[in-house]
Amino acid sequence: MKAWLLPILVLLVVLALLFPRSLPRLFRKAGRQVGDIGRMGRELATGEEIDQSPLAKYEVKAGELVAMRVLAENPVASDPAMQEHVRAIGARIAEHTLRRQIPYRFTVVEAKEPNAFAVPGGSVFVTRPLVELCQGDVNALACVLGHEVVHIDQRHAIRSLAARTAARTGFQVLTLGRGAILGRLAGGMQELIVQGYRQDQELEADLYGARLARIAGFDPHGIIALLQRLAEICPDGRVPLTELSQYFKSHPPTSVRLEKLRAALGTAS
């Protein structure tokens, strides 16, 4: 018998005598955790979500960490009526999502620029200037929120992180502890928020977000009305204005978005 094995066996016997009921539960819990990490490793390798996804649980926890950082830099807008308005519209949108285990939260924050972004795990933030840019059009706002919800519902950030993880570390995630996994997920999420999504994902979010708004009872053409106002501000289809650049920096040109949406929604130019 190896020298290090005997002390471990003695320790297990002592624990079994002192805690006859707790030790089996401890082993079962440890077994579940190892199983969850193994299943999560497969999710990261394939990029596909499985039933009772353990990665989704980590996504929610890591998303909460990122959301706290967002709120530390962007104070919540002190307008209860606006907050309730956005939350009510967001709740209607979230009722029709595919990923039912995700707890969606919608918050208006103060910022200088019109902006909206989704944090994986369910937090959707929209700045006061973007709400005001909708000019009271609930359909436009619903489509904006739908767009952000789709980023979470279609796992755009998580798929990107999965591809990156598989390419860089493969199944090394299995050797990480819970805290390290959360830290890496949160760091990757925050990086993606800064960099923005791929343009094909933005176009998908436009289309699916409009459809999600329609299912929730809103007019999906609201997004077209909003984009048309932007096109009037900048006829060439791009938005060079400093105050608009943050939200639209990773999006395709407005003219391209309008063309795709009109074709999908059957709207004439």
Please answer whether residues 184 and 120 qualify as being in contact, where contact means their C-beta atoms are separated by less than 8 angstroms.
Answer: no
More confident residue, 57 or 240: 57
How distant, in Å, are the alpha carbons of 8, 25, 90 from that of 20?
A: 17, 10, 50
> Which structure tokens are listed for 105?
């939260």
Give the number of other Cβ atoms within 10 Å of residue 203's Cβ.
Answer: 18
19-70: pLDDT as tens digits: 555 545 544 444 444 455 656 666 665 556 777 677 788 888 888 988 998 8
Cβ neighbours of 50 (radius 10 Å):
13
Q: Can you list the positions of beta strands (E) in 110-203?
A: 116-119, 123-127
Beta-carbon neighbour count of residue 156 at 10 Å?
Answer: 21
For the chain, the C-alpha Rg in angstroms (whole number) is 23
Instruction: Please state, as a whole number, how many other Cβ atoms lie within 10 Å of the Cβ of residue 104.
Output: 22
At 133-167, the pLDDT tens digits run 899 999 999 999 999 999 999 988 877 776 665 54
Determine phi and psi for 82, rounding to 5 degrees: -65, -40
Coil, helix or strand for 262?
helix
Instruction: Compute the C-alpha angle 203/48/101, nearest 5°.
Output: 85
| Range with the poorest average pLDDT among 16-30, 86-100, 241-255 | 16-30
CB 141 within 8 Å of CB 86: yes
Q: Quote the pTM value.
A: 0.74
Residue predicted with more confidence, 176 or 184: 184
**β-bridge mates for residue 107, sequence order:** 125
Report in angstroms the alpha-carbon separations of 205 from 59, 60, 75, 118.
Answer: 20, 20, 26, 11
